[in-house]
Structures are given as structure tokens and as C-alpha cells.
Amino acid sequence: MNGQLSPFESLLDELWRWDHDWRSDFSPSPWFSGIRSVRQGSYPPVNVGSSPDSVDVYLFAAGLDTDSLDVSLQHNLLSVSGKRAPATEEASTWYRRERFEGEFQRVFTLPEDVDPDKVDATYRDGVLHVRIGRREAVKPRRIEVH
């Protein structure tokens, strides 16, 4: 053929796109569960992990001014908000823009045993790391048997 799709191929391509969009919007996903979860592509992307001593939240947000960040912990809700300035002048002609800019906010429900007096936040190499310690009273304690 001359490099164009046949009507049959075009129809299959359209059906594949429709199926992909439908699955993205309506199918359950292990990455989208819980009342405070957000869709894939939310900014900034995060990793949240825990150990017996702390809960660690990593937000991947290069190019932020630390003065624009607001990190707060109330009860067991961690809130991170900020603003990412535009990378270039607005007068530019854009052919594609994938870099997020503007205001953002993410809220995370943490375990009940986090200690609001043991919070440390650092921003380095485009990663905001928030470490929240756990309360001593609820940590497992080894009891020696005599």
C-alpha cells in the first residue's frame, strides 16, 4: 500500500485506543486505592515506605524553590504543597510540554503511631525527603524470658 492505514487497520487502532482509555479510567489498579489516592501522573510522584522506626516519604520534584514548599503534619495527615515556576518564557512557541509547573498539593494518611515531634524534611537533588519518626511507646519491645 502507499503507507496509509487500511480502514480495517484504522478501525482496530481506534478500538485499541478506546479500550486503553476505558481501562485507564475504570479498571481497578493496585496503584489507585484509598480515599486519599490520586491518579497516575499526579505531581509530584512519590514513594512512601515505612520501617519500625519511621515513615519515609519521597517526593520527586526537581526545580523547586524550598521557600515555596509548605510541609505540615496534623494528627496523622501529612500535607505537602508548593509551587513550581515556569522553566522558560511564556512567549515561546511550544510543540510539546510535559513538565509540570504551577501549584500543587499532596496529602498522605500516615499510620496512627507517627510522632509529630519527630519530623525532618530535606530537599536535595530534586527529591524532598520527609521522615516521620514513630512513637517509642508503640514500638515492639523484646522481652527476655528467664
**pLDDT tens for the chain, residues 1 to 146:** 455 656 666 677 777 777 766 665 555 544 444 444 555 557 889 999 999 899 999 999 888 889 999 999 998 899 999 998 877 666 778 777 777 788 999 999 999 999 999 999 999 999 999 999 998 876 677 888 98
Measured in residues, the chain has a length of 146
Reduced to 3 states (helix: H, G, I; strand: E, B; else coil), residue 86 is: coil
Query: Is the overall model pTM greater than 0.85, yes or no?
Result: no
Whole-angstrom Cα distance, residue 97 to residue 78? Answer: 30
Whole-angstrom Cα distance, residue 140 to residue 128? Answer: 29
Asked whether 107 and 127 are in contact (CB, 8 A), the reply is no
Q: What is the dihedral of CA 140, 134, 60, 63, to 10 degrees?
A: -150
Domain 39-138, classified CATH 1.20.1340.10, yes or no: no
Please tell me whether the peptide bond between 28 and the residue prior to it is cis, using omega within 30 degrees of 0. Answer: no
